[in-house]
Amino acid sequence: MNQIATANLHFTLATAGHVDHGKTSLLRALTGIDPDRLKEEKEREMTTDIGFAHLSLSLAQIEKDFSSLKSLIPKLDSQKNLRFEANAKLDPESKITVSFVDVPGHGKFIKNMLAGVGGIDAALLVVASDEGVMPQTIQHVKILSLLGIKNCVLALTKCDLVGTDEPELALDEVKELLAQYDINLVDYALVSNTTKSGMDELKSKIIALLLSQSHIDKRFDSKGNLLPAYLPVDRVFSKPGYGVVVTGTLVSGQIKIGDNLFLQPGDIEGRVRGLESCGKSIKENNSAFPGQRLAVNLVLKGNESVERGHVAISQNRAAIKDLIVQVSDLGGLKRGAEKAKKTLKAQQVLFYNGTAESVGTFRWLEKLDSNTVIAQIHLKDPVLTMPGQRFVVRYGDNGIAGGQIIITHRPRWLTRERIKTIATQCINKKYSQAIIDYLSFVPAGHITRHELFSLLPPALFAQELQSLITENKVLESGDLITAESTISNLKKKALSLLESAKSGLSQEEMRVKLAPLFERSLFHRLLEDLEKSGAIAKGESDKYVLPKNKTEEKVVDPNFAKISEYLEKEFCIEIETLSKELRIPAKQLALTLRKMEQEKLVSIVNQNFVSSGASIAKAHKVLFEIWQGKKNISPSEFREKLGVSRKYTMELLAYFDERQITRRTNDGRALLKAPKG
């Protein structure tokens, strides 16, 4: 029987605040540890790089020293998603360890501040009572907001130097600032770093925040599978007799001694030789959990250089240079009437994610609606990042923007219109539909599981994919994934092709004619399904043919005429609207439209719209006429000549782009194929 161990919980908080407001002195007084580790920092009495300190209290100590927190401990113990070993439990000896990341307040060291705030649970905002909110206070609060930090505790320092009015004024300023950027001020304390007054109260406020907020065990995904370890590296040093040591806050997964880790970018491989958290060794059979500050001793396979900005991961993934993101522009160092001063546009920026900094360029930005902007960022140097993670960019002198990463790989076939479709689903957390849309756009008709990693946050990947497989909306064959609609469409095309092939066709002949990029094993499985159902049969020389009863005269669907008559009046219409207007059930209509498309009576435009074959031919002729006259096709002129709404114009243009009849240019479109006749 395994002995039940004492559970310990670890949390990480980042300090934030203006230079000389006392962040480092506060941590020194609060924990007894000096976060400044560099000689020049001690000489100048100013933090220039990130520093670290920690506070560790047992539950028994908390009950004894902070009686007001006693009622919170049972609530903590009742949570299902606490991050410690399954065979451990909370008891009086359990320790709450709070690691503090001390970040520089001076604007020149903002990149070091950004390196320190990844993977944190909450923030400790430090504001001097005699000065109140200052430029770096605003800058740090904006960054915390962009990184998704929702809760903070406020320390109003230098209270021994002022009267009773100044702290109250400073508190009002801070409340207004935090409310503007949707950060919850959980509590505050008046402190003096010199006399150490208010330190116990501040400790109580911090512990109360951590005991009362809900926690998610980031070791596991939404289906309970262990997530890959993910640790952004913020410090690297060598220790005599040990070798390379990297430090950072573990964001997800877990790490044990003996684990193999990869460091990206650079494909560096190493093995974990030792683990420490807050100066204490983690034993060989124990794991490090998300939220812990770690020092990881690595034995590297080669002599590669490791530095801040690398990420240590347990499952190797490639670093990337192109990202699709949702971005919010928060302007410069001022607040209030700054909307007119926001200048985020296609330009060079500094990109920050985790502990990495990279020069990047916004290639384009586009509004999805009045509140949502998406963009593509191209990075000079690759970084390792994943969908769902937060990022910050700096532009101009003091501009700050940031948001959430949506897609971490952009193949050439993923046009901007298609990106907008997928991004909308991801932003609204409709990941299942995003997968279906993505698969419908893939030229080959299928992708690998690995390629899908670029679209879904790791914590949701297994659940979203499995639900689609269970609902038969997605088919999985080995490592390949394809949409059921793709398979269904290919089956219909295969039957249609065999109708005109008198002597039958081999598997490869059919694949080349129907889907030359489709993987052979998947296509073979598709034909096997048709053969088992009796829809096709093997003829001479192993060629596929239609059974005799399948070659009889086809019965015309009575809805053909009804749909054709309706489409004579409407140039382009939503399929959903057509279903309601003609009172044809959606599933039945979908089948009918596919049949009509095979006979070239209609064209399905971008899945959700339909036009008659005659309308598409007319639109193609209009494109040709505009191109002949100007050698450039603008959406506005195309819309005017067709006499349709902007919505239908853009859908039709995307339809012609997809079929390589037109191609987007900087100021319009070029015609690649002339209409027949």
Domains of the chain (ranges; CATH) run 5-212 (3.40.50.300), 230-313 (2.40.30.10), 320-410 (2.40.30.10), 459-550 (1.10.10.10), 559-671 (1.10.10.10)
- Tracing tokens 């088992």 back to the chain, one arrives at 532
Condensed to tens digits (0 to 9), the pLDDT of residues 131-169 reads 999 988 998 899 889 888 889 999 999 998 888 889 999
Q: What is the rounded (10 degree) CA torsion for 426, 606, 443, 267?
A: -20
pLDDT of 116 over the 50 cut: no
How far apart (Å, rounded) are the C-alpha atoms in residues 375 and 363?
A: 7
Total count of residues recorded for the chain:
677
Tell me the pLDDT band of 175, cut-offs 50, 70 and 90. very high
All residues at 6 or more sequence positions from 96 whose CB lies less than 8 Å from its CB, including other chains: 8, 9, 11, 56, 57, 58, 59, 62, 207, 210, 211
Higher local confidence (pLDDT), 540 or 317: 317
Condensed to tens digits (0 to 9), the pLDDT of residues 597-632 reads 888 888 998 888 999 999 999 999 999 999 888 889
How far apart (Å, rounded) are the C-alpha atoms in residues 329 and 326?
A: 10
Bridge-based pairing state of the strands 668-671 and 662-665 = antiparallel
Token pair listed for 575: 């399929």
pLDDT of 391 over the 80 cut: yes
Write the single-letter amino acid at 72: L
pLDDT at 165: 87
For 125, the enclosing helix (H) or strand (E) is strand 122-128
3-state SS track over 180-192: HCCCEEEEEEECC
Over residues 562-579, mean pLDDT: 90
Condensed to tens digits (0 to 9), the pLDDT of residues 331-340 reads 877 765 454 4
pLDDT at 336: 57
Token pair listed for 199: 């330190």
Using the 8-state DSSP alphabet, how is residue 676 labeled?
A: P
pLDDT of 6 over the 60 cut: yes
Q: At what angle do helices 484-499 and 431-441 cross, to 10 degrees?
A: 30
- Looking at the chain, the whole-number percentage of residues with pLDDT higher than 70 is 90
Token pair listed for 374: 């998406």
How far apart (Å, rounded) are the C-alpha atoms in residues 426 and 432?
A: 9
pLDDT of 110 over the 60 cut: no
Distance of alpha carbon 169 from the chain centroid: 39
- Which region, left, alpha or beta, applies to residue 183 given φ > 0 means left and ψ of -120 to 50 means alpha? beta
pLDDT of 552 over the 60 cut: no
For the chain, the average pLDDT equals: 85
Over residues 547-554, mean pLDDT: 56
Bridge-based pairing state of the strands 230-232 and 311-313 = antiparallel
pLDDT of 109 over the 50 cut: no
Using the 8-state DSSP alphabet, how is residue 639 labeled?
A: H
Higher local confidence (pLDDT), 337 or 189: 189
Tell me the pLDDT band of 86, cut-offs 50, 70 and 90. low
Burial class (CB in 10 A: 0-12, 13-18, 19+), 280: exposed
CB 381 within 8 A of CB 390: no
Tell me the pLDDT band of 177, cut-offs 50, 70 and 90. very high
pLDDT at 106: 42
Distance of alpha carbon 319 from the chain centroid: 15
How far apart (Å, rounded) are the C-alpha atoms in residues 230 and 458?
A: 11
Token pair listed for 529: 């399904």
Token pair listed for 225: 């599978």
pLDDT of 562 over the 80 cut: yes
Token pair listed for 635: 């959406």
CB 244 within 8 A of CB 238: yes
All residues at 6 or more sequence positions from 565 whose CB lies less than 8 Å from its CB, including other chains: none
